[in-house]
Chains A and B, each alone.
Chain A
Amino acid sequence: AQSVTQPDIHITVSEGASLELRCNYSYGATPYLFWYVQSPGQGLQLLLKYFSGDTLVQGIKGFEAEFKRSQSSFNLRKPSVHWSDAAEYFCAVAPGYQKVTFGTGTKLQVIP
């Protein structure tokens, strides 16, 4: 069965600083990969996805993620964090057509 690991439960960054959230997955082949964001009291919203092709994918709100097959990773990055980016971020994988597995999430705090 596939699994997703987000090793950082909580991250604090200063506004304007760069951000990298880590995600590692365990699966035999290359799955579909996603990052979602959840603001307090809200449902999840898709930030970006990787299905195939270019391993650097761009998403909404200035986020990008890079798929590294050799490291089974799909880390999320943003060059300059804004206070409105404070939220919880979930990595997800889908090896087939039926089920998605979510990581346990990383809470991002942004300090002025």
Chain B
Amino acid sequence: NAGVTQTPKFRVLKTGQSMTLLCAQDMNHEYMYWYRQDPGMGLRLIHYSVGEGTTAKGEVPDGYNVSRLKKQNFLLGLESAAPSQTSVYFCASSYRDHIQYFGAGTRLSVL
């Protein structure tokens, strides 16, 4: 009964380092999303995917890349981390009805 699982839960990076956040869902959802949450700004969509092998830009895509090679996984990459990318990152998945199921989040600090 896992739902949406994000790894890692916490990470500290130095400026310029790279990392990949993994999101896995076991609900056979077509749609998957990556958001960032910053104080006072709600959730902002970074990238999303409407099916295996497809990705699209959201509201704040700069500095991030994504891949959806398998239906159940959605990866978020930071090629060269910047302090402005310090945030809490949430993955979510849904059917076409937009009822989103969220992971517990990844807290990222970039020093």
User: Which residues of chain A have a CB within 8 Å of any CB of chain B?
Assistant: 9, 32, 34, 36, 41-46, 49, 51, 90, 94, 97-105
B103 touches A43 (CB 8 A): yes
Cβ contacts under 8 Å, B97 to chain A: 32, 51
Choose from A46, A51, A102 the contact partner of B43 (Cβ within 8 Å).
A102
B4 touches A43 (CB 8 A): yes
The CA-CA distance from A44 to B104 in the complex, in Å, is: 8
B42 touches A44 (CB 8 A): no
Cβ contacts under 8 Å, A9 to chain B: 40
A104 touches B41 (CB 8 A): yes
B42 touches A100 (CB 8 A): no
Indicate whether A104 sits within 8 Å of B102 (C-beta atoms), given known contacts A97-B96, A98-B48, A99-B48. no
The CA-CA distance from A44 to B45 in the complex, in Å, is: 14
Cβ contacts under 8 Å, A101 to chain B: 45
Q: 10 closest Cβ contacts across the A-B interface?
A: A43-B102, A104-B42, A94-B98, A102-B43, A44-B102, A102-B42, A43-B104, A97-B96, A105-B42, A43-B103
Question: Closest Cβ of chain B: how far from A15's Cβ, in Å?
Answer: 26
Q: Which of B69-104 contact A (CB under 8 A)?
A: 90, 92, 96-104
Cβ contacts under 8 Å, A41 to chain B: 104-105
B105 touches A43 (CB 8 A): yes
A32 touches B98 (CB 8 A): yes
Cβ contacts under 8 Å, A100 to chain B: 33, 45, 98, 100
| A-B contacts besides A43-B102, A103-B42, 10 pairs, CB < 8 Å | A32-B97, A34-B98, A41-B105, A43-B90, A43-B92, A43-B104, A43-B105, A46-B100, A98-B48, A100-B33
Choose from A46, A98, A104 the contact partner of B99 (Cβ within 8 Å).
A46
Cβ contacts under 8 Å, A99 to chain B: 45, 48, 58
Confirm or deny: B110 has a beta carbon within 8 angstroms of a beta carbon on chain A.
no
Question: Closest Cβ of chain A: how far from B89's Cβ, in Å?
Answer: 11
Cβ contacts under 8 Å, B40 to chain A: 9, 104
